[in-house]
Amino acid sequence: MAEQEKYSMVKSIRQSPPVDLSIPYDSAWLKNKTILITGGASGFGAAFVRKWAANGACVIIGDISVQKADQLARDVRKETSNPRVHFVYCDVTDWQSQVNLFKEAVKRSPHGGIDCVIACAGVAGTDTLQTPSGLDALAPSKPDFKVIDVNITGVLYTTHLAFFYLPRNPGSTDCSPDSDPANTPRDRHVLLIGSVAGLMPLTIQPQYCASKHAVLGLFRSLRSSAFASGVRVNLLCPYFIDTPILPTSARVMLAGGGTGKVEDVVDAGTRLVADSRIVGRSLYVGPKVKVRQRDDGELVLDEGGEDRAVWEAYADDWEDAELFCRRMIRILNTITQVKGWTGWFKDMFAALLYGIGR
Ligand SMILES: NC(=O)c1ccc[n+]([C@@H]2O[C@H](COP(=O)([O-])OP(=O)(O)OC[C@H]3O[C@@H](n4cnc5c(N)ncnc54)[C@H](O)[C@@H]3O)[C@@H](O)[C@H]2O)c1
């Protein structure tokens, strides 16, 4: 067996191979799943709710926007003839409010469990981090950290509750890249919503940019360990897309450039939710472009090429792909190999003693 195969971290964490976007998924796989979504009243969330309810999922929307969410739930129930679309008020920055959302979701779920959790609630807006008080102010004023509260604390509360409730989903089994999505209705899935602002700098909104880098870090950490709870964790990283979150400043900045489409975000999100074989992957969704792959593997814009809006991002954390990763992983694998089981027992013993001694 090749060294690479023998000590493959990717295999140990049960991560699936890069998503093959040419393989179709079936929206019918959503049928009978119970999906909890925060921030489901507007934008991507609302579009997900429409799509998933139309395909027979039970959807529980948690949002602060009471009027919008309530109206959406009523409209979708009527349009889809699916009675299992519910709104529960939830402020994601409030722990008790999120606990209540999850409890209500379990109560309203036809099978008494939650199959999928989408941490979609998010805010952006004018960021005064670098210009807090105006140049004529004599003293600094307390900064507004709402973006951090919603986009980080809120997402962490959602994630924590997901890891409590998903393994308690009756009849669910550990997630697996080898599962059959047509026969895996009792799933255990967390879908995080990152952003292109988590992959690169967003000059005008440092807090938003920091919050989405945090979501990326959360994803990369969770995807290495979530297998222990049988939970699969995936990430969506949309580029700028026309929804109410985009402030005027962003629209001004983007003028003349491309924006992505909500329907492409829904397509990518639905693939991740429906296909139980996708474990620990992240998809970037941008403006649709025509591209062609050159012989050296490089992608170039080409009018005659394939139409593409969705790409895999951060695919290779544990692969022998980047120079840094390659060096580190080789070193770590070599250490593991040299230490063997004797080394493992020694380290374990030391770790337990450390715990007892504290
Ligand atoms: N639109 C884009 O360009 C874009 C790009 C990348 C990532 N995103 C991310 O996608 C997610 C959805 O954004 P969207 O574009 O649909 O925006 P949106 O403004 O249309 O929707 C956000 C939803 O979150 C809800 N929300 C805000 N604060 C909340 C709170 N404290 N508790 C509960 N709900 C709350 C809002 O009421 C709203 O329904 C966000 O996480 C956002 O950061 C958006």
Q: Name the phi and psi angles at 87, rounded to 5.
A: -110, 135
Catalytic residue among 212, 239, 284, 314: 212
* Closest residue by CA, ligand 1 atom 23: 39
- Closest-lying ligand 1 atom to the alpha carbon of residue 40: 39
Mean pLDDT along residues 222-238: 96
> pLDDT at position 60, please?
98
Question: Is residue 74 in some structural domain?
Answer: yes
User: Is residue 4 in a domain?
Assistant: no
For residues 262 and 342, state if they share a domain: no
> Is residue 299 domain-shared with residue 338, that is, in the same domain?
no
Ligand 1 binding pocket includes 38 (Cβ within 6 Å): yes
CATH number at residue 192: 3.40.50.720
Average pLDDT of every residue of the chain: 90
- Kindly give the interhelix angle for 95-108 and 155-165, rounded to the nearest 10 degrees: 40
Which of 218-232, 290-304, 323-337 has the highest mean predicted lDDT (pLDDT)?
A: 218-232
Query: Are 226 and 190 within 8 A, CB to CB?
Result: yes
> Is 193's C-beta closer than 6 angstroms to any atom of ligand 1?
yes
Give which of 233, 291, 243, 250 is closest to 266, Cα–Cα. Answer: 243
Cβ-proximal residues to 238 (8 Å cutoff; 6+ apart), any chain? 44, 193, 195, 196, 260, 265, 284, 285, 286
**Shared-domain flag, residues 264 and 340:** no
Rounded distance, CA 355 to CA 358, Å? 6
Tokens matching residue 195 = 């952003």
Greatest mean pLDDT among 5-9, 298-302, 344-348 lies in: 344-348
pLDDT at residue 174, rounded to an integer: 95
Q: Is 212 one of the catalytic residues?
A: yes
Instruction: Say how many C-beta atoms besides its own lie within 10 A of residue 341's C-beta.
Output: 7
Assess whether pLDDT exceeds 80 at residue 62.
yes
**Residue 31 burial (C-beta neighbours within 10 Å; 0-12, 13-18, 19+):** middle
87 in the same domain as 30:
yes
With 50 as the cut, is the pLDDT of residue 240 above it?
Answer: yes
Looking at the structure, do residues 330 and 240 belong to the same domain, yes or no? no
Residue 310 placed within a domain? yes
Alpha-carbon distance 70 to 86, whole Å? 8
155-165 and 206-225 helices, crossing angle to 10°:
20
Point out the least confidently predicted range of 3-7, 9-13, 36-40.
Answer: 3-7
What average pLDDT does the segment 275-279 reach?
Answer: 97
Binding site membership of 39 for ligand 1 (Cβ less than 6 Å): yes
Same domain, 113 and 167: yes
Query: Is the model more confident about 157 or about 300?
Result: 157
Does residue 345 share a domain with residue 299? no
Give residue 5's pLDDT.
55
In a domain, 101, yes or no: yes
Q: Is the per-residue pLDDT at 331 higher than 90?
A: no
| pLDDT per residue as tens digits for the range 76-111 | 999 999 999 999 999 999 999 999 999 999 999 999
Ligand 1 center from residue 119 Cα (angstroms): 10
Same domain, yes or no: 338 and 290: no
CA dihedral 105, 109, 113, 116 (to 10 degrees): -70
According to DSSP, residue 103 is labeled H
Q: What is the total count of domains within the chain?
A: 2
Distance of alpha carbon 65 from alpha carbon 243, whole angstroms: 15
Residue 208 is a catalytic residue: yes
Give the helix ranges, DSSP H, for the chain.
Answer: 3-6, 9-12, 43-54, 66-80, 95-108, 146-148, 155-165, 206-225, 248-254, 262-274, 323-357
Domain range enclosing 182: 11-316
Average pLDDT over residues 192-218: 94
> What are the residues facing 241 on neighbouring strands?
260
pLDDT at 97: 98
Q: For residue 132, what pLDDT band results from cuts at 50, 70 and 90?
A: low
Residue 211 forms part of a structural domain: yes
What's the burial of 169, exposed, middle or buried (CB within 10 Å: 0-12/13-18/19+)? buried
All residues at 6 or more sequence positions from 7 whose CB lies less than 8 Å from its CB, including other chains = 333, 336, 337
Calpha distance 229→173 (Å, rounded): 10
Cα 43 to middle of ligand 1, angstroms? 7
Residue 1 lies in a domain: no
4 has a pLDDT exceeding 60 = no
Q: Is the pLDDT of residue 196 over 50?
A: yes
The stretch 16-20 carries a mean pLDDT of 91
Q: Do 291 and 353 share a domain, yes or no? A: no
343 lies in the same domain as 311:
no
Instruction: Pick 329 or 87 by higher pLDDT.
Output: 87
- The pLDDT assigned to 1 comes to 43
Residue 5 lies in a domain: no
Residue of 280, 266, 279 whose CA lies nearest to 37 = 266
**266 and 337 within one domain:** no
Q: Is 222 in the pocket of ligand 1 (CB under 6 A)?
A: no
- Kindly name the residue from 165, 208, 239, 314 that is annotated as catalytic: 208
Look at residue 6 and tell me if it is in a domain. Answer: no
Percent of the chain residues topping a pLDDT of 70: 94
How many C-beta atoms surround the C-beta of residue 294 within 10 A?
9
Same domain, 230 and 358: no
